[in-house]
A and B are shown apart, each in its own frame.
Chain A
């Protein structure tokens, strides 16, 4: 049985080459490549098609070789031995189905795709074939995150691709929200460190009048004093001008009466100094390498995390106005802070809903029956219950 050993030799060698290449067992060999492999004993007599053909035929018969067709001629790829063993015992139809599924590799094949490609349109018999293959341990059913109700099959020894599983952020077809959240928090932390210079803010005594602050302290602290005052602002615009003497102070550089309540997120923490223009801010790639190289998340996750996935999280953060794009990199929006690990979500939805502008703070801005409200109607300015509540309980009610 010298010839069998020769074919096995060929199979092993080719498998070695395939495994050492990027594509793994997916690697497709053309004739020249196979001949290349046969460069030493005992395969050194294989020099051309005529000597190679019998070996290939034998492998094909043993279902170890898949023959593919290209415009440039035939080419081949190899099947793992374990799978080949199962394949040999399949019926013709089963084998057809198996080959369709096999050709899709990690992407998996949707049941309708299998039907189309094999021409077996009959659902019950298709079900039967698939059942048989599954029983034989050759294929498995996988869940496609993008199309939850499309039955998808793939080879049992393959791990489904990111396309099917949804990538690092999915766990058994379900979105791993806590991972996304932690990762976002981490990115905010990292980017903030990289994009701002923190400076301890000078403590301002409450008793200081704005004049003193403006004379001695720098402008930011004066601004802070204003915003601190702004939080207590109740009387709207009238309270702002009478606090300082016009003679002594320069014209106010900006509108003092902030119409919106100061954003608690942006007014806390130490002073942030910006880098000068032209500074290189972290990019998705550098954020990715920071996350994966610093042992922050589980190693398995870190290995599978791609730059694109990081970019996706970064995009979401940009839409959430936590990051902003500058010079092709990212910087945190001024005042955005990260949450301490384990800290409760300090921005519950209700809290978020309180902020807004003149309209959304007024009762009408969030009135569920605004379209029914009108003079002479059942609902009008006099009968409105929201106004009652709003006037009695202050703005936050």
Chain B
């Protein structure tokens, strides 16, 4: 396995869980599968501590284990995905905070730090457990916040109201959890979560053979497809069992007491203020749904978060090419597709399983659904000619209702640039008119969404496919993920080798294999210059050349040299370099800390100094400390940005199998 990835993950594990864990991780990463005695021997860690560390790593899903039915020992192996996901902790927490509100962000951040957590434990943490005597929970929450600040280094946000976005009641907590589970941000942890994919496949096969193939023969023209179908069926059954469903996973219905109702109403509108997303089934103050069982264990679903990161990437690309309004529409489109199975990041595993149900059919969404997901404050008319001169329309569901309303429904008038007078807010308007205005708004907005989607489908990058008659839009996310990869490569090649090299690479990508001469004439460059660029690119492994001898003598003069650009190896190469870059940058943080900043950091961290830095540190020390913070931040921000590159190159397409275990 890649040494660079091992290096990076070891640093990550060490930063998150300490040296001991990192040591175990390195050994397992290098040796593959090991059982406890072997691990003990190789790590030379006392057995008791070793067991503790393994338990910790298992809790964070950084290790898989395999316990067979027989007397064989339990084996451990590394879960690369989870180890690498450590670096995404902050990103995921922020993402969910943006999407679902601060409270959700904080909850997710907690779960991420714990690895996984049971509902009961989380309730305890929030001071909401039935046996805990407190009922306000607010001071617990405050304490908790500051603790997190320390861990994550997030500067405390002064403007944020302390109460805002906090979970203060059991009902809110359950509602929030339920929402996150339904949206797939959280998933249940079951027995099978700890087992590596390959082991699961073996188990499935064993079960299927035992049940349906008593003879044990699973090959042959007839048996093989049947066996495959059975295996897939069994896998799907397991998946369903493991997935959260509101029907199965409720604790005994009706036991939920509405004792907190009074207080809920007092601050009931606060947590809701954050998201006005109408598609979201909102956390109601009167929410009285069933509780989740206390023993249910949940963890954060990183794949789902990747999906959203991918959507954000695509949005940004649309913004670059078609402007912010279209990007907002596209964002709404992607949001409406998010929960469809076909929109998920398909891995090679999924493809190998050959689910026929969603092949070939693009996930689609209707215009109405896009409208539901669209931020009502977006001015749809702002970037397209024609309606651009019309006044802003609002679909009447947002905060702007009542403040702005349609002025001119006559496009001709608007295009002439005549502005009608603002009518004062609903003074003379009978309510009937208002209603019809809202309705008109709605229709107009739908039309405009259609316009934007049409423009999107026209774009050569193929952002979406428009079915005009059905008024629906499909998105080929697989292809787009590849487009993202290509774009990222182009950016990197541009940054490293310049504009002309990018031109050559794009040409080779489009045309396939070409001779020097053809490249020169097509790119309108001198053949000498082309040769220089190609040689440089070849030296760095970006393009390659194929020799095609004209006759058996194989002389260079009688040989055709065809240049080509193969994306696969280039992606791998860049990926490895990114791993290395991240590892080095993280190491550099340590180097910097142990350098000239060491003394001052240690002083600042002393218990007697902490909290009284202003009085106890000299100005030189404060200056140094500030400098250190800047250096650390510069390095860490760079790591996060490199992580974005990894996400694009490796995770968004699901094609990459380098992390599979």
Contact = CB atoms under 8 A, between A and B. Distances in A.
Given A333-B321, A366-B496, A361 B638 contact: yes
Interface stretch (A21-29, A98-106, A309-317): A309-317
B375 A358 contact: no
Contacts of B320: 263, 266, 334-335
Interface string A344-384: 00010100111111111111111000100101000011101
Given A259-B644, A319-B506, A251 B375 contact: yes
Contacts of A235: 633, 637
Interface string A303-341: 000000000110110011100111100000111000000
A185 to B, nearest CB: 13
A274 B587 contact: no
B544 interface: no
Nearest to B274: A246
A124 interface: no
Contacts of A252: 98
A362 B378 contact: no
Interface stretch (B173-181, B257-265, B449-457, B604-612): B449-457
Interface centre among B154, B322, B522, B637 (most CB of A within 10 A): B637
Contact of A276 (B325, B455, B490, B635): B455
Interface in B248-306: 273-277
Interface of A: 146, 166, 169, 174-175, 177, 180, 197, 199, 214, 218-220, 222-223, 235-238, 241-242, 245-247, 250-255, 258-260, 263, 266, 271-278, 312-313, 315-316, 319-321, 324-327, 333-335, 347, 349, 352-366, 370, 373, 375, 380-382, 384, 387, 391, 395
A142 to B, nearest CB: 18
Contact of B385 (A174, A251, A274): A274
Given A354-B495, A380-B584, 14 more contacts: A219-B325, A238-B154, A241-B157, A250-B377, A253-B328, A254-B331, A272-B323, A274-B322, A278-B458, A335-B320, A358-B643, A365-B578, A370-B581, A381-B584
A358 B155 contact: no
17 contacts: A246-B165, A251-B274, A271-B383, A273-B388, A274-B383, A276-B384, A326-B458, A326-B459, A334-B321, A356-B492, A357-B492, A359-B577, A362-B642, A363-B581, A364-B580, A370-B577, A381-B590
Interface centre among B388, B398, B458 (most CB of A within 10 A): B458
Contacts of B388: 197, 199, 273
Contacts of A366: 495-496
A271 B389 CA distance: 13
B499 A349 contact: yes
Contact of B524 (A180, A273, A327): A180
Interface in B502-533: 502-503, 506-507, 510, 517, 521-526
Contacts of B641: 259, 357-358, 361-362
Nearest to B490: A321
Interface in B150-175: 154-155, 157-160, 164-165
Contacts of B273: 246-247
Nearest to B154: A238
Interface in B613-647: 631, 633-638, 640-645
B454 A250 contact: no
4 nearest A-B residue pairs (beta carbon)? A358-B641, A356-B495, A364-B581, A277-B454
A112 to B, nearest CB: 13
Nearest to A366: B496
B495 A360 contact: yes
B634 A391 contact: yes
Given A237-B94, A315-B522, A365 B492 contact: yes
Interface residues of B, number: 100
A357 B491 contact: yes
Contacts of B376: 250
B642 A358 contact: yes
Contacts of A355: 491, 494-495
Nearest to A320: B503
B517 A316 contact: no
Given A235-B633, A334-B322, A220 B521 contact: no
Contacts of A274: 322-323, 326, 383-385, 455
B242 interface: no
B140 interface: no
Contacts of A325: 460
Given A359-B492, A380-B587, A316 B503 contact: yes
Contacts of A358: 578, 638, 640-645
Contacts of A313: 524
Contacts of A352: 494-495, 498-499
A327 B398 CA distance: 36
Contacts of A253: 324, 327-328, 331, 375, 377-378
B90 to A, nearest CB: 8
B419 to A, nearest CB: 14
Nearest to B523: A316
Contacts of A223: 319, 324
Interface string B185-206: 0000000000000000000000
Given A218-B392, A276-B385, A359 B581 contact: yes
Contact of A219 (B94, B382, B507): B382
Contacts of A320: 499, 502-503
Interface string B378-394: 11001111101000100
A220 B326 CA distance: 11
A187 to B, nearest CB: 12
Contacts of A250: 276, 375-377, 398-399
A380 B94 CA distance: 32
Contacts of A146: 517, 521
Interface centre among B588, B631, B633 (most CB of A within 10 A): B588
A342 to B, nearest CB: 21
Interface string B302-341: 0000000000100110011111111110010000000000
A357 B577 contact: no
A263 B158 CA distance: 32
Given A254-B331, A334-B323, A359 B645 contact: yes
A200 B248 CA distance: 58
A197 to B, nearest CB: 4
B319 A220 contact: no
Contacts of A375: 7, 587
A180 B524 CA distance: 8
A219 B385 contact: no
Given A246-B273, A316-B523, A356-B491, A254 B323 contact: no
